[in-house]
Structure 1
Amino acid sequence: MRTEAWLFGGVALFFAGVAVFYGIWSHWDPAGTAALVVAALMAAVISFFCAMNYRRRGRRPQDRPDAEVADGTGPLEFFPPESRWPIVTAFGFAVAATGVVYGLWLFLIGVGVLGAGVFGMVFQYAARDSGREG
């Protein structure tokens, strides 16, 4: 993951530099400058994620030139068999988007359902490692 962190870090620096030059050249055009700053921030987040994974887990078999294909075998990650939370999240987003058109009350209901769906997706299997299923 170290290579990926450096790669996305370079992309983030590139977009940040282009954002500065574009902003100066265009007399701080808000739309283009904001788009470039957001692109730089998104690349920086990915770079940070890759760097933290490398720091936590160390080198992967893909990072070593002397690694064999068999070094990358082993158990895959946990994939949940079924979940109702993506449907709840999608419904909450649809209600919130409809609430933008029809009123604040519907938007707030949608944000509440959306928050519950995201919370459910994030913490659905949080207790999986401790032996209890949630």
Structure 2
Amino acid sequence: MKIQGKMFIWLSVFLLAMAVVYGVWSKEPAGTTALFLAFGLSIMVGFYLGFTAKRVDTGAQDNKEADVADDAGELGFFSPHSWQPLALGFGGAIAFLSVAIGWWLIYFAAPIILVGLWGWVFEYYRGENRTQ
């Protein structure tokens, strides 16, 4: 985490310099404000990563002799047979199509989205996958 913290701090220095140069040169308030906000965000993330790096164990990314496999771990659980994303995608497509065709189409998309979302959230609490 130390490396990432330093990278964000250096990025914030660069963004501050670019915000000043852009503001003086262009006199355009929206872009200058966006660059100053990006500077603020970058300094917050850099400070957080540097602050956290002092309190956690050294990770593989901080060790120059580390291998890529040293930082490997479990990525999470991904459902291998879920049909619910298909329903959500179909409902989402109809919902976005309603912007072009007419808002009345959202009445057909909303139930499909809700059923797909409900099924995805609760798919492991019913049927063959139910745990006791």
Please report the TM-score for the alignment, with normalisation by the length of structure 2: 0.48
Highest RCO, 1 vs 2 (Cα 8 Å, sep ≥ 6): 2
**Which structure has the larger Rg?**
2
